[in-house]
Structure 1
Amino acid sequence: MSLINPLTATQQAPGQPQQANAISPQTAQAATQSSAASATNTEQTSTGNPFLDGLRLPEENPIPEPNSQELTQEDFFSLLSQQLSMQDPFKPVENDQMIQQMASFSTVDGISKLNEEIINLNALTSSSQALQASGLVGQKVLIPSDTAHISTEDPSMKGIISTPSPIESITVRIEDEKGQLITTYNVDGSAGGNIDVSWDGLDKNGEPVAEGNYTFKASGKVDGTSEELPVSTYAHVTSVSLGTAATGAILNLRGVGGIKISDVLAVSET
């Protein structure tokens, strides 16, 4: 029995014409798709018209990453190494100069880190201050302003007149936002110092005034001369804002606006 080599069995017999290798349908389809893709890519990259090809935007336009302009400790030591390698061997850098450079860089780096910690501390302080100031919501605070707000919830105004010396009689005028006189009356200032003043929100005819901002104006005779006296008023705190590290917590007052908590003169329950 003889063995047949599979490789030699597939060879053509002598004298028969050589046949081409058969190509499967899958191989032909893959080749067609590859040719079509190659043609499509060629069409996308070139139109055959130099002018149009020049107007075509590049398919890939990578944006370089922004380089940090801040020198790090590694950059410093790299520059120091370059300085040492390129120094004049006859005039080398003194040890004290090198130590001074390293100390200066360490100082700058420490100051930068300290600034970051201070910023974080300021933010924490502002949040803590705003949390403490939230206890003032719903109360009245005395502010260095002669203007207060009349509303349905609070139809009256209260304030304090500051006098340099005892004054027998102080004239109080109430004006609206346009500066028109609403009413006038007198208060006793013989005690001197801070004199409490209030207004019931009624005009000279005894009618309630409209909602809005009104101003206390006070005057009296000081050493025989009539002078305007400073007036502070109470305002209702409606909410508290965080503010910034420079301003601190901000108290939002009804009808008046915002004021820094550091500008508050006094706090009243009513």
Structure 2
Amino acid sequence: MATSFDATLGNLGIARSTSSTAVKASGADTLGQSDFLKLMTAQLKNQDPFEPVDNTQMVAQMAQFSQLSGITEMSTTLKAISDKLGATTTSDAVSYIGRTVQTAGNTAYGRSAGGIAGAVELGGDASAVTVSIADANGQVLKTIDLGKQAAGTVAYDWDGKDAVGADAGAGPFTVSVGAQKDGKTVSATNLVWAPVQSVSTTTGSPVLSLPGIGDIPVSAIRQIG
């Protein structure tokens, strides 16, 4: 025998599903605020006059409706705030020009004081991590042994001197990183610092142009110097 709730749904033209599939009303996958209000109105119109809805139950249902409305409005507001905070406007992107950012790449230019700074992103724990720095001709100038490292980001700094202590110049330099554990290769990505030369917005989302690296989206930035 159908319950009073089933009867109320029937009066509204809503079929109650006995499976795990959500009830569909007016093409929607869930019951919204308007559906909730319709249910309450139908319940009042179809109640037994000899057994009216208990006042306590009515107050509880009204409280549920108010709570649902408040949660919905709050969710909408929070989403709007999140979208605003997560978006990068053209003016935001233009502010990167002249700044130095850290991103994935293998080409690095020397600092005014000499040498380069960078980091290695490790996808897992490694027993051995190395950083090799070569000149424009591919000749290895320096190999830095970072030893055993845990998963995450490991910073390194090169003073700009080659293996025999000579000044290696301003570059550009090619940086290669490697990591292993128990004879197996561990995922490793080199991060370099590079100045932002220009910003393009032709694709809709701001794109930064970096020397030696090319164009990258703002989301590819790891740090800002």
TM-score by length of 1: 0.45
Q: Work out the CA distance in 2 between the residues paired with 1:199 and 1:171.
A: 13
- Letter of the aligned partner of 1:134 in structure 2? V
Letter in 2 for 1:177: A
> Matched residue of 2:117: which SS?
strand
Structure 1 counterpart SS, 2:218: helix
Q: 2:97 aligns with which of 129, 132, 137?
A: 137
Change (3 A) 1:186 1:146: same
- Report what 2:146 is aligned to: 187
Residues of 2 paired with 1:171 and 1:257: CA distance?
21
Residue in 1 that maps onto 2:106:
146
Equivalent AA in structure 2 for residue 241 of structure 1: V
Q: Which has the higher helix share?
A: 1
The separation in 2 between residues aligned to 1:241 and 1:165, in whole angstroms, is: 34
Change (3 A) 1:257 1:216: closer
The answer to whether the 8 Å contact 1:177/1:215 transfers is yes
> Cα 1:226–1:209, aligned 2, differ >3 Å: closer, same or farther?
same
* RMSD between superposed Cα atoms in Å: 2.5
- Partners of 2:99 and 2:113 lie apart in 1 by 12
Kindly provide the amino acid, as one letter, of the partner of residue 165 in structure 2.
G
Say whether the 8 Å CA contact 1:133–1:240 is kept in structure 2. no
Alignment of 1:1-270 (within 5 A): 129-150=89-110, 153=112, 155-226=114-185, 229-237=188-196, 239-246=197-204, 248-253=205-210, 255-256=211-212, 258-269=214-225
SS in 1 for 2:163: coil
Question: Over alpha carbons, which structure has the higher Rg?
Answer: 1
Report the CA distance between 1:261 and its aligned residue: 3.0
- SS of 1:209's equivalent in the other structure is coil
SS of the residue 1:162 aligns to: strand
Change (3 A) 1:210 1:190: closer
> Post-superposition shift, 1:263?
4.8
C-alpha distance after superposition, 1:135-164 (max 9, x if no partner): 22333212221211125x352322221223
Shift of 1:223: 3.3
Instruction: Give TM-score, length-normalised by structure 2.
Output: 0.52
Contact 2:102 / 2:192 at 8 angstroms: preserved in 1? yes
Task: Evaluate the alpha carbon distance shift between residue 260 and residue 170 of structure 1 in structure 2; reply closer, same or farther with a 3 A threshold.
Answer: closer
Return 5+ residue gaps in structure 2 as ranges.
1-87
Instruction: In structure 1, give the amino acid aligned to 2:149.
Output: S
For structure 1, the residue ranges without an aligned partner over 5 or more in a row are: 1-127
The superposition leaves residues 27-84 of structure 1 with CA deviations (integer Å, 9 ceiling, x where unpaired) of xxxxxxxxxxxxxxxxxxxxxxxxxxxxxxxxxxxxxxxxxxxxxxxxxxxxxxxxxx
Q: How far apart, in 1, do the equivalents of 2:224 and 2:176 lie? A: 22
User: Runs of 4+ in structure 1 displaced over 6 angstroms?
Assistant: none
In the alignment, the residues of structure 1 paired with residue 178 and residue 214 of structure 2 have an alpha-carbon distance, to the nearest angstrom, of 28
Q: State the secondary structure of the residue aligned to 1:161.
A: strand
